[in-house]
Amino acid sequence: MRWDEFKQHYLIKFWPPLPAIIAAGVLSAYYFGLTGTFWAVTGEFTRWGGHILQFLGFHPETWGYFKVIHLEGTPLDRIDGVMIIGMFAGCLSAALFANNVKLRVPHHRIRIVQAVVGGMIAGFGARLAMGCNLAAFFTGIPQFSLHAWFFALATAAGSWFGARVVMLPLFRIPVALVPVSKPSALSQDPVQAARRLRLGLGLFAAFALWAGVKTMSAPTLGLAAFCGLGFGLLIERAQICFTSAFRDLWLTGRTQMAKAIIIGMAVSALGTYSYTRLGVAPKIFWAGPNAVLGGVLFGFGIVLAGGCETGWMYRAVEGQVHYWWVGLGNILGATLLAALWDDIAPVLAKPYPMVNLLTVFGPQGGLIVTYLLLALAMAAVLFWERHFFARKAQSSSLAKEQA
């Protein structure tokens, strides 16, 4: 393959989501084996909030929540920390490859309001449930933790409410349908595109080099950084969006992303299962009302904000200013939850068991139950798709009869 073809097909054109999500599922299973933890981002964002509070003279390290998720060191000393830096590097390189970095400023104030408020609700809900679309869904379900199933169902419900709210007239900016006679002229600057591509390749290579050097002195951190680079590349190039997977079921009946995520989790689960059989302990959290309530808040918040934690990361580096606000909201909401945790946890989380499906049903039984539940989820998505379009066909034929 010539360089021009490679560039066009892999560096510029967006990747199809299904293979990219399967790749993310495989990489997240490897990540679990390499680091002993799951691919997750909100916990680290909460620690950033903790560091900011420390800087302001507070002592969040004495709070119960930071005793659970730890606040030692700096992001550079933590697996999650270097992985997230890798994700940002991967996302930014990927966006630069395709000349897809552009300052996109929201045209209306209401977008900033929904970004911050939605981001806060999502950040709060995610940390209440001990995970976001990753730790309590995409990488939580393949950990065989029951709380992730509670969270996923609750997120679906919350996203339904969110989808109702974001379509309210308050959030709809009127767009004119303009009569035209010729296509609009698109013109990216080829010199800028070439320069951005070189910059992206340079950034990618520099980060990979840093991660390589780090791997020699601190293997787990270095490999986590490499994984982060890969995750970032995948989510930006394929525009993987967990929010749309939930939201667009309700809004447009689109199931492509939801199906891809279910398949990705099915692939990932077998990988994490093998590591647990080799003795790596899975990450299990409280399957209590905190996971349900957190999921509902999170599902609502991500739809209001327009993106979740992984979603705002790549959109922010693409220059979508809207998502800078979402990120800020996330960190604020997560930090608020950490501040309230010691009052909330004794009621909503800690009295409830941490349920590991591999323990409850035995290792093989837990794996089978997980695959049955994933098959059930896929069947529910297929059923919903048929129902959605059947209902639409019915209402449009009704409209024709009345006309």
Partner 1 sequence: MTRTNSSPLPAPDFRLDMRGEPCPYPAMATLEALPRLRPGQVLEVVSDCPQSINNIPVDARNHGYEVLEIEQDGPTIRYLIRR
Contacts with partner 1 by CB under 8 A lie at 8, 12-14, 17, 98-102, 104-107, 111, 166-167, 172-173, 175, 177-184, 186-189, 192-193, 239, 241, 243-244, 247-248, 251-254, 256-257, 306-307, 315, 318-320, 322-323, 389, 392
Q: Is the Cβ of residue 47 or residue 111 nearer to partner 1 in the bound state?
A: 111
Distance CA 134, CA 39 (A): 7
Query: Could you write out the DSSP letters of every residue in 283-299?
Result: ---B-SHHHHHHHHHHH
Q: Is the Cβ of residue 56 or residue 180 nearer to partner 1 in the bound state?
A: 180
Indicate left, alpha or beta for 241 from its phi (over 0: left) and psi (-120 to 50: alpha): beta
In terms of Cβ atoms closer than 10 Å to its own Cβ (0-12, 13-18, 19+), residue 117 is middle
Asked if 321 contacts 106 with a C-beta cutoff of 8 angstroms, the reply is yes
Backbone angles phi, psi at 46, to 5 degrees: -65, -40
Q: Is the Cβ of residue 136 or residue 240 nearer to partner 1 in the bound state?
A: 240
The minimum distance between CB 145 and partner 1, in angstroms, equals 29
The minimum distance between CB 400 and partner 1, in angstroms, equals 12
CA 61 to chain centre: 26
The minimum distance between CB 111 and partner 1, in angstroms, equals 7
Q: Is the Cβ of residue 286 or residue 312 nearer to partner 1 in the bound state?
A: 312
Q: Is the Cβ of residue 187 or residue 217 nearer to partner 1 in the bound state?
A: 187
The minimum distance between CB 24 and partner 1, in angstroms, equals 15
CA geometry: angle 247, 253, 255, nearest 5 deg: 75
**Residue that the structure tokens 């010729």 belong to:** 182
The minimum distance between CB 202 and partner 1, in angstroms, equals 19
Q: Is the Cβ of residue 147 or residue 322 nearer to partner 1 in the bound state?
A: 322
The minimum distance between CB 147 and partner 1, in angstroms, equals 28
Asked if 81 contacts 74 with a C-beta cutoff of 8 angstroms, the reply is yes
